[in-house]
Amino acid sequence: MGLGRRTRQLWQVCAARKFGDENGARRLCRAALHRANRVGGIRASDYLEELAIFHALGEQIEKAVAVRDRQLALLAGMGRYVAEVEVHLDRCEILARLGQLIPEDRQRAQDAIQPLKAPKSYQERLDKL
């Protein structure tokens, strides 16, 4: 199964959760994760994006942060600077909503922003937190 199909499956999961079908969302999520693990694991940062959204929609904030941490570990050293910055910022926004954003988290996001050629919009997003 390709990443495209996995991504579509997780978007279906997110939609079910968003529209109040919690039992269906959990069932679909378990099935999608089982299929993903069976065919080689959850490695793609794009796939983890949908999983983080799923957890955030269900107010499972700790799980959403953990998924963002997995994304960052996956992206480290790959040269995908914009993707890495976006994940740092998403993580910071989640933590800020919880009142748990600490200076070290902000600094990691700031450090990720530095090498970008056009950092302004990312810096503005961080400054709003």
Residue ranges of domains in the chain: 1-59, 76-129
What is the torsion angle, in degrees rounded to the nearest 10, for the CA atoms of residue 52, residue 91, residue 99 and residue 15? -30
pLDDT of residue 24: 86
pLDDT of residue 4: 62
Q: How far is CA 17 from CA 56, 65, 74, 98, 111, in A?
A: 10, 18, 26, 21, 34
pLDDT of residue 15: 83
pLDDT of residue 128: 95
The Cα 108–Cα 97 span in angstroms is 18
**pLDDT tens digits in sequence order for the chain, 129 residues long:** 445 666 677 778 778 888 888 898 888 877 776 666 665 544 566 677 777 887 887 888 899 999 999 889 988 888 889 999 999 999 999 899 889 999 999 999 999 999 999 999 999 999 999
Neighbours of 76 (CB within 10 A): 9
Structure tokens at 99: 């009142």
Neighbours of 105 (CB within 10 A): 18
Cβ atoms of 65 and 94 closer than 8 Å = yes
Cβ atoms of 87 and 72 closer than 8 Å = yes
Exposure b/e, 13-36, CB count within 10 A at least 16 = b:
bbebbeeeeeeebeebbeebbeeb
Within 13 Å, how many C-alpha atoms sit on residue 108's CB side?
16
Claim: this prediction has a pTM higher than 0.85: no
